[in-house]
Amino acid sequence: MLFEEAAKYYERLENTSSRLGMVDILSEMLSHAKPNEIKDLIYLTQGVLAPPFEGLQIGIAEKFAESAIAMSSGYSKEDVVASFRKTGDLGLTSEEFVKKGKLKTLSKRHFESNYVFESMHKIAKTSGTGSQDTKIKILVELLASSSALEARYIIRFALGRLRLGAGDATILEALSKAFTGDRKAKPELENAYNICSDLGKVGEIISEKGMAGISRLKVTLFSPIRPALAERLPTSEQILEKMNGRCAVESKYDGFRVQVHLDRKNNKVAMFSRNLENTTLMFPDIEKAALSEVSAKEAIFEGEALAYDETTGEFRPFQETIQRKRKHGIAMKSTEFPLHLFSFDLMYLDGEDYLSRPYEERRKKLESIIKGNGLIRFSDRIIATTSKQIDKYFEEAVENGLEGIVAKEPNSVYVAGARKFSWIKLKRSYKGELSDTVDLVILGYFLGKGQRAEFGFGGLLTGVYNEKKDVFETLSKIGTGFSEEQMRMFNDTLKKIKVSKKPVRVDAIVSPDFWVEPKYVVTVRADEITKSPMHTCGKEGGKDETGYALRFPRLVSDGIRKDKSPADATTTNEIIEMFGQQKKVRLEG
Ligand code: ATP
């Protein structure tokens, strides 16, 4: 597919106002592409060069993009900067300069989308002395022979600001429609995505091998599996009932989730976070331990990493450990409070996929391949058949400084990428407050008034993820409790992802001063969930219907939660469930 054609689809995507409209446009684009173009087209559409776990960033700085626009059009950099000041979008500026370019001698050529993609790869991979010049040269070459519309998307992509707004679910539905005729194959495609975390790969397989290829997809080393997630229930009685009277109860460690991939033959270990970023460099001790404490040729297992003082039996808050490590360099050996990995699940072992084996079998196997007395331990657990046992274990866990418990259904498979009742969490509750925090996506922000005017930031508009509709719905404005440092940080961070109008996948009644691309997640505590006509969370659209909101919301973490992506935010359904549980607890109490 010519990049020019892809750019026309992108322009249509930008102009559509419905999510289903986006699915249609994308599916049309994908069905017009050749099988060997699908993978790169999907990455292009996502605005990435590779699946996020590969961590390949394009990262052209604004000033270099400005130079490239100037050089390819024959104008001065000052002219470009002046235009950028007006448009606020270097993509539009670049479009303008291609239109009025003075260097007419260069002939326009029509390049393939794969060519653009490869050029972007070259830009990302060039490093060392003189690399900036090489990067600019590649960009100039592209711009000099592109059309105005192509230039808009080339520049936005190079800056990492494509922002077409198509989420994973939209792309999966588009793939389903393009290759099977309708959107019904989405769940199977989603399964495939959950075990490889790579939409480009899913697209490549369906376009080359059809649905048969999709159903044959297996877990592979160094392609992270999307993590299983836990549901919530407010009491041990309800947990036990849901688990049919018998369950494993594990301590819930308040650390950092780590998925370890081990390949002994090549002496290679990789680790991935909850949102599948490669975090291997953060845990050099655990990397070594995986090679010396695990007896397997190949394995994928997961656990929670946190600092643990063996002599006192004390767990240290993970934030504290991470800050210390940052201060002293990421690879510092944390000898004082060594990081331990409390492993709790096994997904793959020596060629065998363990995802569909029952929890109890996975756990037993995990215990048979790990020594368990070094840096890699096992999550503590009991098997419970009465709610009293669960309550006692829960209280002990909280007393030991842990977050609570995770109950696990003994016969359940590992449900990659989904929040299911095979795992149920119960966290310590805070008197008079909502028992759990919620993770909300920043959808927009407000300007500061009065004293806050100098920070250019006065508060956040935040929302939840509605999985069924694949949209973000507003839940809360957060206007208090920010430190000056936080206000500065939010202003700096959010102004970079400002968008000119409400994104298609955001459903809102309230309008902030600025909309932003849904990208960042913050953890919020509140007193309770209330009904509200102002917010769209849980509102089905009827005239008198109300949505949900938070009472007295405040940020918990010191800023943005780096280990969560927008689709990992608390969902609309979770809020509705939490609202129901809150009512029950009140009635019972
Ligand atoms: P939270 O913010 O409550 O940790 P979350 O959205 O990150 O929630 P959930 O699936 O809701 O994730 O809760 C399970 C989380 O608890 C896992 O992501 C994991 O990081 C952590 N955890 C700690 N101990 C365990 C354990 N023994 N078994 C499973 N998960 C555990």
pLDDT in tens, 273-282: 998 999 999 8
Range 158-162, long-range pairs (CB < 8 A, 24+ positions): 158/58, 158/60, 158/65, 158/120, 158/123, 159/58, 159/60, 159/62, 159/65, 159/90, 159/91, 160/47, 160/57, 160/58, 160/59, 160/60, 161/47, 161/91, 161/497, 162/10, 162/44, 162/45, 162/47
Helix (H, G, I), strand (E, B) or coil at 408: strand
Q: How many CB atoms lie within 10 A of CB 432?
A: 7
438-588: CATH superfamily: Nucleic acid-binding proteins (2.40.50.140)
Q: What is the pLDDT of residues 59-73, one digit of tens each?
A: 789 999 999 999 999
pLDDT band at residue 432 using 50, 70 and 90 as cut-offs: very low
Nearest ligand 1 atom to alpha carbon 570: 6
Q: Does 133 have pLDDT greater than 70?
A: yes
pLDDT value at residue 300: 98
What's at 291, amino acid-wise?
L
pLDDT value at residue 428: 74
CA of 259 to the centre of ligand 1 (A): 13
pLDDT value at residue 17: 87
Q: For residue 267, what are the CA distances in angstroms to 59, 61, 223, 250, 305?
A: 31, 36, 17, 31, 21
Greater confidence (427 vs 576) lies with 576
What is the spatial distance between Cα 228 and Cα 222, in angstroms, rounded to a whole number?
17
Q: For residue 274, what are the CA distances in angstroms to 2, 30, 202, 307, 369?
A: 36, 30, 20, 18, 23
What is the spatial distance between Cα 317 and Cα 330, in angstroms, rounded to a whole number?
17
Q: Give the residue range(s) of CATH 3.30.470.30 domains in the chain.
A: 229-426
Residue 500 burial (CB < 10 Å; 0-12/13-18/19+)? Answer: exposed
Over residues 38-58, the mean pLDDT reads: 93
What is the spatial distance between Cα 12 and Cα 21, in angstroms, rounded to a whole number?
9
pLDDT band at residue 311 using 50, 70 and 90 as cut-offs: confident
CA of 306 to the centre of ligand 1 (A): 13
pLDDT value at residue 333: 46
Beta-bridge partner residues of 423: 408
Q: How many CB atoms lie within 10 A of CB 495?
A: 14
Contact 23, 133 (CB under 8 A): no
Contact 537, 547 (CB under 8 A): yes
pLDDT band at residue 436 using 50, 70 and 90 as cut-offs: confident
pLDDT value at residue 334: 47
* 3-159 topology per CATH: DNA ligase i, domain 1 (1.10.3260)
pTM: 0.86
Question: Which tokens belong to 553?
Answer: 């919301």
Which range is least confidently modeled, 320-334, 378-392, 511-525?
Answer: 320-334
CA of 162 to the centre of ligand 1 (A): 32
Question: Which tokens belong to 23?
Answer: 């699915």
Q: Give the residue range(s) of CATH 2.40.50.140 domains in the chain.
A: 438-588
E strand segments, 28-179: none
What is the spatial distance between Cα 407 and Cα 230, in angstroms, rounded to a whole number?
9
Q: For residue 80, what are the CA distances in angstroms to 134, 159, 297?
A: 20, 16, 56
Q: Which of 231, 247, 249, 253 to mutate to test the pocket of ligand 1 (most atoms within 8 A of CB)?
A: 253
Number of H helices, E strands in the chain: 19, 22
Q: What is the pLDDT of residues 313-369, one digit of tens each?
A: 778 766 666 655 554 455 544 456 678 999 999 999 999 999 999 999 999 999 999
Q: Whose CA is nearest to atom 25 of ligand 1?
A: 252
pLDDT value at residue 588: 52
pLDDT value at residue 328: 47
Q: How many CB atoms lie within 10 A of CB 62?
A: 14
pLDDT value at residue 332: 45
pLDDT band at residue 479 using 50, 70 and 90 as cut-offs: confident
Q: What is the pLDDT of residues 250-288, one digit of tens each?
A: 999 988 999 999 999 999 999 999 989 999 998 999 999
Catalytic residues: 252
Greater confidence (518 vs 310) lies with 518
Q: Give the residue range(s) of CATH 1.10.3260.10 domains in the chain.
A: 3-159
pLDDT value at residue 545: 81
Using CB distances shorter than 6 Å, the residues near ligand 1 are: 229-230, 250-253, 257, 274, 304, 344, 379, 406, 425
CATH code given to domain 229-426: 3.30.470.30
What's at 570, amino acid-wise?
T
Q: How many CB atoms lie within 10 A of CB 324?
A: 15
pLDDT value at residue 274: 92
